[in-house]
């Protein structure tokens, strides 16, 4: 409690505005910093990350809607356009962004004892590419600013996570790619990747509510024959984007994720190029006792840098509580995935609205030809109403807190 009160007072003193965006009246002492394997809060106390991920809000993912085949952002958007038309879909996305995460959600997260929110985002939110109903003047900074303001007012830190990078960094649905990590082979995509991070860092360089920048989520899935060759290209990209960020921002911690689901740290050979680096790992499933994360602990100890579990979850409450205790003992902070999704296995469960099964059926139906689209399309009035009902169902006041799940995370 003392740490949270001090955090709130420091942040309120540094920020007298409530409209979002960076302040100009801060010093390096106002930011979370690194000492060996620990994070240190502005008051000098050790800071241990505990929180959740705002997945699906700014990077839609199919299973959180109850979809299976239609599982990436662009596939979901295409499916909605085929079902109800592009104009209605654009309006849906605006309302979705306005309602899926609000101030009330952040207040609730803070009430659970969390101290950190990881905010996944799609790179397109900071370009003029078509994305979530907008084809120009994307609203990335507006959306992130809102979360930062709400977190500042509730004593929470924010980790910015580029979950979907230009070209795709993973080669699967989670990066909204075309089935291959083209980022690692495309100079144009790498330059855009660096330019976007530099733009974000320039904008938020004086924002101490931001704990750090999670550069690239789960790069290089383990499905590719040239996986080892791709792995070797990741560290040079880390160095390149770090240099771009440091041109404008000397304050924030930079988080480095490993290939193969943030699980394989063997390709990394050099971490001397910056003094504010930390590692971020992910783990779903496995033995909840220490051996499940022993490789992370050993790598962390060999580098004498902090290690943080950016994603974990989708398990029983008993497993999660045991695993959280293990991570506390190992000094590895964590943000569970996700905060909100349809039904359960999250902080806040969405109850599917009436007729949502018809939307799910269309998402799973064959749609490779126009004939198949027409044959599978549900009644327009029902489909559009159901999509609006989903937005209403996703509002905080209509979701069901998953009390056992939250308690298992040992945040209070």
pLDDT digits (tens, 9 = 90+) for 100-113: 999 999 999 999 99
Residue 61 pLDDT grade (very low, low, confident, very high; cuts 50, 70, 90): very high
Contact between 206 and 26 (Cβ < 8 Å): yes
291-310: average pLDDT: 96
The pLDDT > 70 percentage for the chain reads 94
**pLDDT reported for residue 21:** 53
Tokens 């979701």 locate to 399
Query: 274-294, pLDDT tens digit by residue?
Result: 999 999 999 998 887 888 899
320-333: average pLDDT: 95
**pLDDT reported for residue 370:** 98
- Residue 13, pLDDT > 50, answer no
Query: 381-412, pLDDT tens digit by residue?
Result: 999 999 999 999 999 999 999 999 999 999 98
Q: Which of 7-11, 116-120, 286-290 has the lowest mean pLDDT?
A: 7-11
Tell which wins on pLDDT, 12 or 348. 348
Average pLDDT value over all residues in the chain: 94
Tell which wins on pLDDT, 291 or 314. 314
Query: 15-24, pLDDT tens digit by residue?
Result: 433 444 554 5
- Residue 10, pLDDT > 80, answer no
Tell which wins on pLDDT, 261 or 26. 261
**pLDDT reported for residue 22:** 52
- Calculate Rg over the CA atoms of the chain: 21
Contact between 123 and 193 (Cβ < 8 Å): yes
The pLDDT > 90 percentage for the chain reads 90
**pLDDT reported for residue 2:** 45
What is the layout of strands, in order, in the sheet containing 38-40?
33-35, 38-40, 46-47
For residues 108 and 234, give the distance between their C-alpha atoms in angstroms, rounded to a whole number: 37
Check: pTM over 0.85? Answer yes or no: yes
257-265: average pLDDT: 97
> How much helix, strand and coil, in percent to the nearest 5, is found in the chain?
45, 15, 40
**Which of 3, 137, 117, 107 has the alpha carbon at shortest distance from 57?**
117
**pLDDT reported for residue 20:** 45
**pLDDT reported for residue 25:** 78
188-209: average pLDDT: 98
Query: 120-141, pLDDT tens digit by residue?
Result: 999 999 999 999 999 988 999 9
Supply 213's token pair.
């920048």
Intra-chain end-to-end CA distance of the chain, in Å: 9
Residue 9 pLDDT grade (very low, low, confident, very high; cuts 50, 70, 90): very low
317-326: average pLDDT: 94
Contact between 94 and 137 (Cβ < 8 Å): no
**pLDDT reported for residue 83:** 98
- Please list the residues that pair with 120 across neighbouring strands: 161
Residue 28 pLDDT grade (very low, low, confident, very high; cuts 50, 70, 90): confident
């Amino acid at each position: 409690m003392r740490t949270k009160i001090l955090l709130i007072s420091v942040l309120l003193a540094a920020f007298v505005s409530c409209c979002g965006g960076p302040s100009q009246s801060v010093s390096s002492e106002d930011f979370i910093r690194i000492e060996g394997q620990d994070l240190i809060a502005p008051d000098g106390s050790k800071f241990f990350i505990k929180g959740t991920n705002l997945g699906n809000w700014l990077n839609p993912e199919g299973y959180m809607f109850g979809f299976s085949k239609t599982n990436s952002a662009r596939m979901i958007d295409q499916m909605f356009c085929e079902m109800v038309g592009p104009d209605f879909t654009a309006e849906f996305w605006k309302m979705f962004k306005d309602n899926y995460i609000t101030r009330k959600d952040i207040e609730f997260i803070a009430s659970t004892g969390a101290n950190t929110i990881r905010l996944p985002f799609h790179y397109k939110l900071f370009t003029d590419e078509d994305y979530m109903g907008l084809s120009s003047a994307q609203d990335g900074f507006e959306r992130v600013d809102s979360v930062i303001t709400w977190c500042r007012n509730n004593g929470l830190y924010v980790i910015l996570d580029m979950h979907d990078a230009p070209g795709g960094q993973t080669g699967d649905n989670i990066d909204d790619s075309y089935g291959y990590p083209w980022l690692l082979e495309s100079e144009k995509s790498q330059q855009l990747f660096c330019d976007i991070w530099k733009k974000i860092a320039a904008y938020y360089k004086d924002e101490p509510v931001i704990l750090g920048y999670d550069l690239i989520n789960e790069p290089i899935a383990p499905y590719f024959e040239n996986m080892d060759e791709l792995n070797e290209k990741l560290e040079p990209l880390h160095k390149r984007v770090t240099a771009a960020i440091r041109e404008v921002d000397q304050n924030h911690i930079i988080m480095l994720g490993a290939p193969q689901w943030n699980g394989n740290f063997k390709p990394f050979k050099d971490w001397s190029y910056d003094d504010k680096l930390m590692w971020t790992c992910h783990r779903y499933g496995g033995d909840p006792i220490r051996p499940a994360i022993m490789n992370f602990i050993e790598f962390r100890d060999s580098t004498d840098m902090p290690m943080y579990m950016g994603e974990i979850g989708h398990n029983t409450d008993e497993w999660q509580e045991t695993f959280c205790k293990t991570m506390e003992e190992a000094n590895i902070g964590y943000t569970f995935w996700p905060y909100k999704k349809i039904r359960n296995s999250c902080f806040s469960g969405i109850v599917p609205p009436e007729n949502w099964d018809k939307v799910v059926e269309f998402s799973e139906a064959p749609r490779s030809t126009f004939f198949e689209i027409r044959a599978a399309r549900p009644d327009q009035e029902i489909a559009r109403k159901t999509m609006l009902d989903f937005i209403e169902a996703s509002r905080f006041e209509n979701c069901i807190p998953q009390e056992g799940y939250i308690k298992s995370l040992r945040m209070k």
